[in-house]
């Protein structure tokens, strides 16, 4: 029985939330009076489907059910959590909360607001204790940060419940310890935004020059360490105190125009919009979104490979989902090949014929097998303890050609298994289309003595459960052919 979230208010933010819940297996009920809501959410969901699975190294749960409703009451029926992303009008939000709490008393309500504090949102509510701020950053389906900000009216249990739900959909909940306007992130963004508008207004720099000043320099630092850890390094061996002593006095220098606010008029708007068109007008918004998402996937995968920052969040999320997957196994999984890897063919993957280079097919298979081994508990720790599965034989069939940008899925079917070995059949799929199959025989070895031995009971137990679930599957076409003869 899938958990259900209600999304009140669609658009880019509401749609991003919907995508996170759906792709993490939650059912989602949407209420948004905008007649375009279904189209808009479908577009955000398409972007999310193309990006979020590429961050996962364990099977994604079956996608939840998405429904649209004509009333708030229907949308929130059976929901255990509500994400409210309506426009920033306090009276509107109060009206929405009243209807939500009337239809589903006791439901937890998180707001995407960036302009109001929890105590503002809670005013005049029947159950103020169930209303809290969960403020995300766009794109919601990729960026982990969710600023969780409550008021004294929220008991610790409500804050904790919100934190757990955010973690369940792979986010990084940051609990703000004191109620302040704009929370943390937007206070920094506002500071930079003001300064940037002054530079434009004064003709110091263009929107493009300002963007370059950020993304060619400190922006790269901030994606992996923030402000203070970066400066700690700048302080060198002498440390943070030394850095403060160096940089501290700068506070007194009359550099920025922060004391002042530029007049916000049509002239300024036209200046910014015009320069932005000159800078980015050659790309459509959807195109810019795809470029941004691919870059973010690249950053996040790089951090995941290094188990650092946002990459650590991804690994922890994988571990939770692997556990959830085993729970489903105990109750008997549907007999289908397991989706173990989601990849995209990047420019670095293709050969000079424009096709995915030979080694990448084997690489895609290794990714699939490695994730499978992690799944059955034969990961790093197991190997560190002295046992592992070695590949004895491999048979590759090239059935198609993957090209730049193709999204590939690696599935595994266990053909046979005992305590000492398993025979696997990996399919590398582009959509429905199978571009390669890799049949392998893997032996379980004691690495110290270099001999084939039975796997540890807990590993064999997980492998056995999957092998039994797959026993009912037909033998794949192409399986069982002489293994070990590779094509040239």
Nearest to a second copy of 176, 473 (CB atom):
176
Tell me if 72 is assigned to a ligand binding site: no
Decide if residue 285 touches a second copy (CB under 8 A): yes
308-315 LR contacts (CB < 8 Å, sep 24+): 308/224, 309/223, 309/224, 309/225, 310/144, 310/172, 310/223, 313/144, 313/170, 313/171, 313/172, 314/55, 314/56, 314/144, 314/170
Among 313, 314, 415, 459, binds a second copy (CB under 8 A): 313
CB of 432 to a second copy, least distance (A): 25
The residues in 254-283 that bind a second copy, with binding defined as CB under 8 A, are 254-256, 258-259, 261-262, 264, 268-269, 272-273, 275-277, 279-280
CB within 8 Å of 3: residues ≥ 6 apart: 25, 26, 27, 80, 81, 168
Angle at 193 between CA 192 and CA 197, to 5 degrees: 115
The residues in 233-252 that bind a second copy, with binding defined as CB under 8 A, are 233-237, 239-241, 244-245, 247-252
Tell me if 281 is assigned to a ligand binding site: no
Decide if residue 480 touches a second copy (CB under 8 A): no
CB of 220 to a second copy, least distance (A): 4
The residues in 93-152 that bind a second copy, with binding defined as CB under 8 A, are 115, 137-138, 143-145, 147
Number of amino acids touching a second copy (CB under 8 A): 152
Nearest to a second copy of 285, 327 (CB atom):
285
The residues in 77-96 that bind a second copy, with binding defined as CB under 8 A, are none
Decide if residue 165 touches a second copy (CB under 8 A): no
Q: Which stretch binds a second copy (CB under 8 A): 191-199, 321-329, 406-414, 425-433?
A: 191-199
CB within 8 Å of 397: residues ≥ 6 apart: 436, 437, 438, 478, 487
Nearest to a second copy of 151, 394 (CB atom):
394
CB of 273 to a second copy, least distance (A): 4
Decide if residue 300 touches a second copy (CB under 8 A): yes
CB of 199 to a second copy, least distance (A): 7
Around 210, how many Cα atoms within 13 Å sit in the side-chain half-sphere?
Answer: 18
117 token code pair: 């504090």
Q: Which stretch binds a second copy (CB under 8 A): 23-31, 77-85, 344-352, 462-470?
A: 344-352
Decide if residue 189 touches a second copy (CB under 8 A): yes
Token pair 């009971």 in the structure block, residue: 457
Decide if residue 212 touches a second copy (CB under 8 A): yes
The residue among 387, 399, 393, 434 whose CA lies nearest residue 415 is 393
280 phi, psi to nearest 5 deg: -125, 5
The residues in 359-388 that bind a second copy, with binding defined as CB under 8 A, are 359-360, 362-363, 365-367, 370, 373, 378-380, 382-384, 388
Tell me if 9 is assigned to a ligand binding site: yes
- Residue 424's DSSP bridge partners are 414, 440
Nearest to a second copy of 105, 308 (CB atom):
308
Tell me if 158 is assigned to a ligand binding site: no
Contact 454, 460 (CB under 8 A): yes
Decide if residue 215 touches a second copy (CB under 8 A): yes
CB of 334 to a second copy, least distance (A): 27
Query: How much helix, strand and coil, in percent to the nearest 5, is found in the chain?
Result: 45, 20, 35
Any idea of the CA torsion for 89, 94, 97, 103, to the nearest 10 degrees? -120
442 phi, psi to nearest 5 deg: -115, 135
Strand 108-111 and strand 66-69: the pairing is: unpaired
Among 181, 319, 330, 446, binds a second copy (CB under 8 A): 181
Q: Which stretch binds a second copy (CB under 8 A): 299-307, 420-428, 462-470, 474-482?
A: 299-307
CB of 465 to a second copy, least distance (A): 20
- Residue 438's DSSP bridge partners are 396, 426
The residue among 91, 129, 92, 87 whose CA lies nearest residue 112 is 87
CB of 428 to a second copy, least distance (A): 12
Strand 387-398 and strand 407-418: the pairing is: unpaired
Angstrom distance (rounded) from CA 185 to CA 223: 13
CB of 437 to a second copy, least distance (A): 16
Contact 266, 20 (CB under 8 A): no
- Residues in the annotated binding site: 9-14
- Residues in the annotated binding site for NAD(+): 9-14
């Amino acid at each position: 029985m899938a958990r259900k979230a209600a999304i009140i208010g669609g658009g880019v933010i509401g749609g991003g939330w919907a995508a996170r819940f759906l792709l993490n297996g939650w059912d989602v009920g949407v209420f948004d009076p905008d007649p375009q809501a279904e189209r808009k959410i479908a577009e955000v969901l398409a972007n999310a489907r193309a990006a979020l699975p590429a961050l996962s190294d364990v099977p994604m749960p079956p996608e939840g059910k998405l429904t649209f409703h004509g009333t708030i009451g229907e949308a929130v029926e059976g929901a255990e959590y509500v994400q409210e992303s309506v426009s920033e009008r306090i009276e509107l939000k109060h009206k929405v909360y009243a209807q939500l709490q009337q239809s589903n008393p006791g439901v937890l309500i998180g707001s995407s607001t960036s302009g109001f504090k929890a105590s503002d949102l809670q005013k005049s509510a029947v159950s103020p204790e169930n209303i809290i701020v969960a403020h995300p950053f766009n794109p919601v389906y990729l960026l982990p940060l969710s600023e969780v900000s409550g008021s004294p009216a929220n008991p610790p249990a409500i804050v904790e419940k919100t934190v757990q739900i955010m973690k369940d959909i792979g986010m990084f909940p940051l609990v703000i310890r004191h109620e302040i306007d704009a929370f943390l992130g937007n206070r920094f963004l506002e500071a930079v935004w003001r300064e940037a508008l002054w530079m434009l207004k004064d003709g110091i720099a263009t929107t493009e020059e300002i963007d370059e000043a950020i993304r060619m320099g400190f922006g790269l630092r901030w994606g992996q360490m923030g402000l203070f850890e970066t400066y700690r390094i700048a302080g060198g061996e002498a440390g943070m105190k030394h850095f403060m002593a160096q940089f501290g006095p700068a506070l007194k220098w009359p550099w920025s125009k922060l004391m002042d606010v530029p007049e916000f008029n049509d002239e300024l708007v036209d200046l910014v919009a015009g320069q932005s068109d000159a800078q980015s007008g050659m790309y459509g918004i959807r195109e810019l979104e795809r470029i941004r998402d691919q870059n973010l996937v690249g950053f996040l995968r790089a951090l995941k490979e290094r188990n650092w920052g946002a990459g650590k969040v991804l690994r922890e999320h994988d571990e939770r989902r692997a556990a959830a997957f085993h729970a489903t196994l105990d109750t008997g999984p549907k007999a289908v090949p397991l989706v173990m890897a989601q990849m995209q063919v990047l420019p670095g993957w293709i050969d000079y014929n424009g096709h995915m280079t030979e080694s990448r097919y084997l690489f895609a298979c290794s990714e699939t097998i490695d994730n499978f081994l992690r799944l059955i508990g034969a990961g790093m720790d197991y190997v560190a303890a002295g046992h592992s599965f070695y590949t004895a034989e491999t048979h590759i069939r090239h059935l198609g050609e993957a090209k730049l940008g193709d999204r590939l899925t690696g599935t595994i079917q266990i053909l046979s298994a005992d305590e000492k070995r398993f025979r696997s059949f990996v399919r590398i799929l582009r959509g429905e289309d199978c571009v390669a199959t890799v049949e392998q025989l893997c032996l379980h070895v004691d690495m110290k003595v270099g001999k084939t031995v039975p796997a540890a009971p807990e590993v064999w137990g997980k492998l056995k459960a999957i092998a039994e679930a797959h026993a009912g599957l037909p033998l794949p076409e192409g399986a069982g052919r002489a293994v070990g003869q590779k094509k040239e």
